[in-house]
């Protein structure tokens, strides 16, 4: 799979796709001293989007469907339960993760289109889908934790400007291309409630 993978997690995932390994790790880019409180949440969302590439490669190689309604239900049920445990709105979290899943699926569809049109070489190896799902599950928990930690900000009038700054900073740090920037806009469109 030839594509410029971005950020540390993207390079780890790319190496796995190219080498066929099954180990995928979360590699946060956001530093503890970052001034924007939403950077960690946005960065986790980007890392989750980056997993779309190895998942698409796996589905390409196995002939699996791009959409997986039972897995989507499983993810939404898990993040809703995590939200309730963290004391935040399960409905809000379901909406946020529905947007995230839609953005991820859009990247997968885009990759399939590139491979079918011959615009980029189709993958010949991919990490095990279970490894990608394990990474996603970890990122989901991280995101729910960040949503709980930033609940006040996400429900404040200042949320939109903070979110825009965080998206810009993370996109620049991870050198996101147009597709991932668009996917990030979709994945974060329901973050701000005020």
Tokens coding 163:
């979110």
Tokens coding 1:
């799979």
Checking if the pLDDT of 183 tops 90, the result is yes
The answer to whether the beta carbons of residues 56 and 129 sit under 8 Å apart is no
Query: In angstroms, rounded to a whole number, what is the distance separating the alpha carbons of residues 1 and 32?
Result: 33
Q: Average of pLDDT values for 124-152?
A: 95
- Give the model's pLDDT for residue 11: 38
Consecutive H or E run containing 61: helix 52-62
Inter-axis angle of helices 90-117 and 69-86, to 10 degrees? 150
Of 69 and 17, the structure prediction assigns the larger pLDDT to 69
The answer to whether the beta carbons of residues 105 and 67 sit under 8 Å apart is yes
Kindly report, residue by residue over 20-71, the tens digit of the pLDDT: 433 455 555 555 446 799 999 999 999 999 999 999 999 999 999 999 999 9
- Give the model's pLDDT for residue 25: 54
Q: Average of pLDDT values for 3-13?
A: 37
CATH number of 7-185: 1.20.59.10
- Give the model's pLDDT for residue 120: 93
Handedness of CA 173, 17, 129, 177 (dihedral sign): positive
- The secondary structure of residue 64, as a DSSP letter, is -
Kindly report, residue by residue over 96-110, the tens digit of the pLDDT: 999 999 999 999 999
**Total residues belonging to the chain:** 194
Task: Count other C-beta atoms under 10 Å from residue 100's C-beta.
Answer: 26
Query: In angstroms, rounded to a whole number, what is the distance separating the alpha carbons of residues 136 and 127?
Result: 13
Q: Average of pLDDT values for 133-147?
A: 97
């Amino acid at each position: 799979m030839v594509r410029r993978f971005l950020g540390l997690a993207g390079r780890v995932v790319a190496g796995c796709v190219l080498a066929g390994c099954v180990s995928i790790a979360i590699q946060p880019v956001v530093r503890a001293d970052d001034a924007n409180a939403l950077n960690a949440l946005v960065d986790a969302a980007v890392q989750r989007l980056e997993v779309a590439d190895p998942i698409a490669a796996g589905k390409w190689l196995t002939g699996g469907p791009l959409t997986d309604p039972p897995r989507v239900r499983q993810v939404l049920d898990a993040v809703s339960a995590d939200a309730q445990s963290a004391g935040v709105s399960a409905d809000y979290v379901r909406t946020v993760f529905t947007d995230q899943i839609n953005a991820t699926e859009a990247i997968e569809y885009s990759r399939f289109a590139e491979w079918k049109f011959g615009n980029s070489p189709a993958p010949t190896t991919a990490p095990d889908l279970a490894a990608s799902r394990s990474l996603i599950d970890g990122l989901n928990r991280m995101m729910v934790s960040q949503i709980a930690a930033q609940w006040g900000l996400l429900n404040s009038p200042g949320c939109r400007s903070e979110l825009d700054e965080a998206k810009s900073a993370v996109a620049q740090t991870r050198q996101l291309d147009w597709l991932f920037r668009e996917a990030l806009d979709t994945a974060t469109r329901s973050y701000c409630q005020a």
